[in-house]
Amino acid sequence: MGNRPGHNDQYPEIKESKRLYQRALGLIPNVTQTLAKGPTQYVQGVAPIYLVRGHGAHVWDVDGNEYIDLNMGLGPISLGYAYEPVDQAILKQLKDGITFSLMHPLEVEVA
């Protein structure tokens, strides 16, 4: 027997996401700083809107729903979210500061 297509009516609760979205409508043009992340890119009422946590390939939205992140952000696409060696390197760099007004030696090292 092969797979049989069907309709999944088990949609996640996204009340807090909707509340934040309504608030953003009056504050942020297009409700986001990056259009590719915006809710118009996804199926409304099914896809999460605001993510608050990620670990490995999983993400959680503001409503507590867990998803497998099939989109993956630009950083996590290689190693997943909360990859310990990367997190430790970030914490170490935070002590010295980030987003300097001039170039940093790490740019050369990473390249």
Structural domain contains residue 4: no
CA distances from 92 to 20, 35, 78 (A): 33, 31, 21
Query: Could you tell me the pLDDT band of residue 110, with boundaries at 50, 70 and 90?
Result: confident
What total number of domains does the chain contain? 1
Structural domain contains residue 89: yes
Q: Considering the entire predicted model, what is its pTM?
A: 0.71
CATH number where 26 lies: 3.90.1150.10
Residue 1 clears pLDDT 60, i.e. is over it: no
Q: Element (H or E) spanning 56, and its range?
A: none
Structural domain contains residue 1: no
Q: Element (H or E) spanning 32, and its range?
A: none
Structural domain contains residue 64: yes
Report d(CA 27, CA 33) in Å as an integer.
11
The tens digit of pLDDT for each residue in 44-80 reads: 777 888 999 999 889 999 999 998 888 766 667 778 8
The tens digit of pLDDT for each residue in 71-106 reads: 766 667 778 889 999 899 999 999 988 888 788 888
| Collapsed DSSP state (helix, strand, coil) of residue 60 | strand
Structural domain contains residue 68: yes
Structural domain contains residue 7: no
Structural domain contains residue 98: yes
Residues of the domain holding 37: 15-110
